[in-house]
Amino acid sequence: MTVVTPASIESVSWDDERAVRLRAAMDEEMGARYASAWEDWNAEAAQRAQAAFTVDSADIRATFLALVDGEPVGHAALRRLGEEWELKRVVTLPGHRGRGVSRLLIAAVEDAARAEGASRLILQTGDRQPEAVRLYEWLGYEPIPIYPPYEVIPMSLCYARQLR
């Protein structure tokens, strides 16, 4: 019988080295998943897409890590995007998926958004992340039109959830 240690959630700064490593792991995985999607893009379109994915740390209001036995296994953040509040950079390392880590991280971000006065949380994911789409829909996120800055990325899927 395998015993699964529950994750604990820790609030950290955006530039915490563990958070940076988890985002780099996410970038590597997503780069591999979407590699063929970018093949036909010209340099200007690719540059616009890269700009859309760029996060200004000044807009980050909260960053959370999920820890299992003291090791960082997941990451999520809350970003202020104009008048909206956005769930950003949700990642759970492959060996820890399916254990509720992302749900705990998203709940932490939702709580932080509520504390900031948010009534809604939005997010962007992609069409090559079906497991993320299933999770967001299971949590009650509903599809919305692609919002800026992601309108330059046709494989974007955007969602929103009313916070109560």
Query: Looking at residue 6, what is its pLDDT?
Result: 85
91: helix, strand or coil? strand
For residue 160 the two structure tokens come to 């929103």
Q: At 66, which amino acid appears?
A: A
Query: Looking at residue 33, what is its pLDDT?
Result: 84
The stretches of 70-150 forming alpha helices (DSSP H) are 101-115, 130-138
Query: Looking at residue 159, what is its pLDDT?
Result: 98
Report whether the peptide linkage leading into residue 145 is cis, meaning its omega lies within 30 degrees of zero.
no
Domains, the chain: 8-162 (3.40.630.30)
Query: Looking at residue 109, what is its pLDDT?
Result: 98
Contact 101, 92 (CB under 8 A): yes
Query: Looking at residue 1, what is its pLDDT?
Result: 58
Distance of CA 106 to the CA centre of its chain: 9
> Tens digit of pLDDT per residue, the chain (164 long)?
555 678 999 999 999 999 999 999 999 999 888 888 778 888 888 888 889 999 999 999 999 999 999 999 999 999 999 999 999 999 999 999 999 999 999 999 999 999 999 999 999 999 999 999 999 999 999 999 999 999 999 999 999 999 97
- Pick from 61, 46, 55: nearest CA to 26: 55
21: helix, strand or coil? helix
Query: Looking at residue 63, what is its pLDDT?
Result: 98
